[in-house]
Structure 1
Amino acid sequence: MLARIHTDHAHISTLLSVLSAKAQRLKQGQEVNLSVIRDVVDYLQRYADQSHHPMEDILYQYYLDKVGDTQQGEVHQLAIEHRKLREATDQLFDTLNMILNDAVVPRERLIADIEDFVQLQRTHLEQEEVRVLPLLERTLTDHDWQQIHRLVANKLVEDPLFGDTGDREFEDLREYLMNSESEQ
C-alpha cells in the first residue's frame, strides 16, 4: 500500500513539474499548450481527488482510530487538506475550461492560479512523504496493513495515465510526457 502511495506521489510530482514549467513559460510571455495543462488538472481531478486521496483518508482514519485522535492533529488535518486540494483542482479546471472556451482570463491570474495550485500540492505531498507516511510505517503492523488494504479495496482503481491499461482520454498527455522525457 505504501509503495502505491509513494508511486502516486512521484507521478503527481512529475505532473506538478509540468505545470510549474508551463507557468514559467507563461511568465516569460511564451505560448503554451493549455490543453496539456487542462489534461494534467483533469487527471488530478479524476484520479488523485477521486481515488488516491479517498484511499489515503481511509488509511489516515484507520491510524487515528488505532492510536486515538489526541496529539494527532497533523494526520487529522490531511483530510481537510484533501478537501482544499479538491476545491483548488476544481477551480483551476474551471478556469482552464473558460480560457479554452474563449473566455478572457488575464495571463497573470492564470499564472498565479497555477503557481498557487502547484505550491499547495507540493506542500501537501511533502508533509505526507516526510512526516506522516514514515509515522504510519513505524506504527502500523502487518495485520493493520491487511485490514487497511481490505478497507480501501474499492478505492484501488487502475491509474488512468500511468497504469498498464492507460485511459484513452489521457493519450495526448501520455504522449506529451513521453516526448518531454526523450528531450531531456
Structure 2
Amino acid sequence: MLARIHTDHKHILTLLRVLSGKAKSLREGQEVNLTLIRDVVHYLLQYADTSHHPMEDILYRYYLEKKGVEEQISQLEVEHQSLRVATEELLDTLGMILNDAVIPREKLISDVERFVRMQTRHLEYEESKILPMLEASFNEDDWKQVDQLVASKLVEDPLFGRGSEQEFEDLRNYLADADG
C-alpha cells in the first residue's frame, strides 16, 4: 500500500515538474503546448482525484478510527477536496483557452504556478509527516485491513500503468521523449 502511494507521488511530482517548466516557459514569453498542460491536469483529475486521494482518505480514516482524532490527519481529506476543486478550475481555464476564450497569459501562468505549489506542498507534507507516522503506527494486520478497504479504489494508472490507455498517449510520448 505505501509503495503504491509513494510511486503515485513520484509520478505526480514528475507531472508537476512538467507543469512548472511549462509555466516558466510561458513566463519567458515562449509558446507552449497547452493541450499537453491540459492533459497533465486532466490526468490528475481522472487518476489522482478519483483513485489516489480516495484511497488515501480510506487509509487516513482507518488511522483516525484506530488512534483517535489527529489534527494533521483529519485535515488531509479537506485538503484533498481543495485540490480537486483547484484541479477542476485549472482544467476549466485550460478548456476555455483551447476553445479560443481570451484569458490573460499572466492569469494562466499564476494559476498553473499556484496549482503546482499547492500540489507539491501537499505531497511533501504527506511524504515527510503523514506516511512515516502511518508506517510506524500500523502493524501487519492493519495493512491487511486497509488493503481490503481500499481494494475498490485501486485502478490501473492510465498514464504510468501497464495498460495502454489511448487517452494519455501524447502525454506518455512526451514523458518518454523528455527522459531520452
TM-score normalised by structure 1 residue count: 0.97
- 1:83-98 matched pairs, under 5 angstroms: 83-98=81-96
State how far apart, in whole Å, the 1-side matches of 2:8 and 2:79 are: 17
Letter in 2 for 1:20: S
1:95-128 per-residue CA deviation (whole Å, 9 max, x = no partner) reads 0000000000000000000000000000000110
Letter in 2 for 1:124: H
Task: Give the CA deviation at 1:166.
Answer: 2.7
Q: Which residue of 2 aligns with 1:151?
A: 149
Task: Give the CA deviation at 1:181.
Answer: 1.0
Task: Give the CA deviation at 1:169.
Answer: 0.2
State how far apart, in whole Å, the 1-side matches of 2:58 and 2:82 are: 17
Alignment partner of 1:165: what SS? coil
State how far apart, in whole Å, the 1-side matches of 2:132 and 2:82 are: 23
1:119-146 per-residue CA deviation (whole Å, 9 max, x = no partner) reads 0000000110000000000000100000
Task: Give the CA deviation at 1:153.
Answer: 0.2
- The number of equivalent residue pairs is 180
Q: Which residue of 2 aligns with 1:161?
A: 159
1:32-60 per-residue CA deviation (whole Å, 9 max, x = no partner) reads 00000000000000000000000000000
Letter in 2 for 1:41: V
Letter in 1 for 2:117: Q
State how far apart, in whole Å, the 1-side matches of 2:93 and 2:34 are: 11
State how far apart, in whole Å, the 2-side matches of 1:44 and 1:97 are: 15
State how far apart, in whole Å, the 1-side matches of 2:72 and 2:116 are: 21
Q: Which residue of 2 aligns with 1:24?
A: 24
Q: Which residue of 2 aligns with 1:62?
A: 62
State how far apart, in whole Å, the 2-side matches of 1:154 and 1:37 are: 29
State how far apart, in whole Å, the 2-side matches of 1:141 and 1:74 are: 21
Q: Which residue of 1 aligns with 2:137?
A: 139
State how far apart, in whole Å, the 1-side matches of 2:116 and 2:73 are: 21
State how far apart, in whole Å, the 1-side matches of 2:128 and 2:165 are: 31
Structure 2 alignment gaps of length 5 or more:
none
State how far apart, in whole Å, the 2-side matches of 1:55 and 1:40 are: 20
State how far apart, in whole Å, the 2-side matches of 1:65 and 1:73 are: 13
Contact 1:34 1:100 in 2 (8 A): yes
Contact 1:26 1:32 in 2 (8 A): yes
Q: Which residue of 2 aligns with 1:128?
A: 126
Q: Which residue of 1 aligns with 2:33?
A: 33
1:144-172 per-residue CA deviation (whole Å, 9 max, x = no partner) reads 00000000001000000000003110000
Letter in 1 for 2:129: R
Q: Which residue of 1 aligns with 2:10?
A: 10
Q: Which residue of 2 aligns with 1:51?
A: 51
Q: Cα RMSD (Å) of the superposition?
A: 0.4
Paired-residue identity, %:
62
Contact 1:159 1:166 in 2 (8 A): no
TM-score normalised by structure 2 residue count: 1.00
Letter in 1 for 2:24: Q
